[in-house]
Amino acid sequence: ILRGSVAKPHLKPYMASLQMDGQHVCGGFLIAEQWVLSAAHCTEETDGKLFQVLLGAHSLTEPEPHKRLYQVRAQFPHPGSNIHNNKDDLLLLQLEEKAELNADVRVLPFQREDRDVAAETVCEVAGWGTIDHSGRRPDKLHQVERPVISRDVCNHRTRHDGTITKNMMCTDSRRMDTCKGDSGGPLVCNGVAEGVVTAGSRVCGNYKKPAIYTRIAPYAAWIDSVMASADE
């Protein structure tokens, strides 16, 4: 998160850190007791290995009462996701067991009504991604509030030039922005997860390149079907 602030500890109890060999790779969030939603691109350099999911954390390194690293039973990248674009950039992770829910570990509801969030709506996004232009990686969760910008503005030829589909949404990236390592985290508007930070490589903090999110509502049926069909 560029030019945001340190989050209040454990006030975003749905936040997950997707880790590989003890290192934070991407964000994610708890959508059900045994399920985390993130971004498919985050699996690109993991050559088939499964993530581990850290829940209940504020600091990535310090011991905290409800912090716990969960093994992942299975990962389900959206079948339409690919390395060439930001389409269908969603990843479902089934935890090895149901997460123990408590004050620091809670499910976040996601939007099921497929209707665009109004431009100028101020939403919030959090993550353990880079916090400055030298790529510094924070130990603690950071957050920032950003206004939604319309798809028409985001698709302007000087911005993302028509690549933003109806299944994507954008927020203003002037100065304050998401950045590498924040991908997979939720864009939360009025307490509901409306989007997932896309994990395609992108410049951060440049107003000409707004932040891009995968809208969740269009994928509610896919999410429900994967959760329903995955084996116990």
Ligand X SMILES: O=C(O)c1[nH]c2ccc(F)cc2c1NC(=O)[C@H]1C[C@@H]1c1ccccc1
- Could you say which of 3, 19, 32, 44 contacts ligand X (CB under 6 A)? 44
Contact call for residue 180 and ligand X (CB under 6 A): yes
Question: Is 183 among the residues known to form the active site?
Answer: yes
Question: Is 89 among the residues known to form the active site?
Answer: yes
Q: Three-state DSSP class for 129?
A: coil
Contact call for residue 25 and ligand X (CB under 6 A): yes
Q: For the segment 181-220, give every residue that binds ligand X (CB under 6 A).
A: 181, 183, 199
Q: Per-residue x/- marks for ligand X, 120-149, CB under 6 A?
A: --------xxx------x------------
Q: Which amino acid is at 181?
A: G
Residue from 41, 58, 142, 160 carrying the catalytic annotation: 41
User: What are the start-end ranges of the H helices in 114-195?
Assistant: 151-154
Pick 34 or 86: Cβ nearer ligand X = 86
Query: Minimal distance in Å, beta carbon 171 to ligand X?
Result: 15
Tokens representing 66 are 């409800």
Pick 34 or 138: Cβ nearer ligand X = 138
Contacts 24+ apart (CB under 8 A), 24-27: 24/54, 24/60, 24/128, 24/137, 24/181, 25/51, 25/181, 26/181, 26/183, 26/184, 26/185, 26/199, 27/126, 27/127, 27/128, 27/129, 27/181, 27/182, 27/183, 27/184, 27/185, 27/186, 27/197
Tokens representing 88 are 């269908």
Chain position whose Cβ is nearest to ligand X: 181
Pick 21 or 45: Cβ nearer ligand X = 45
Residues that bind ligand X (CB under 6 A): 24-26, 41-42, 44-45, 128-130, 137, 180-181, 183, 199
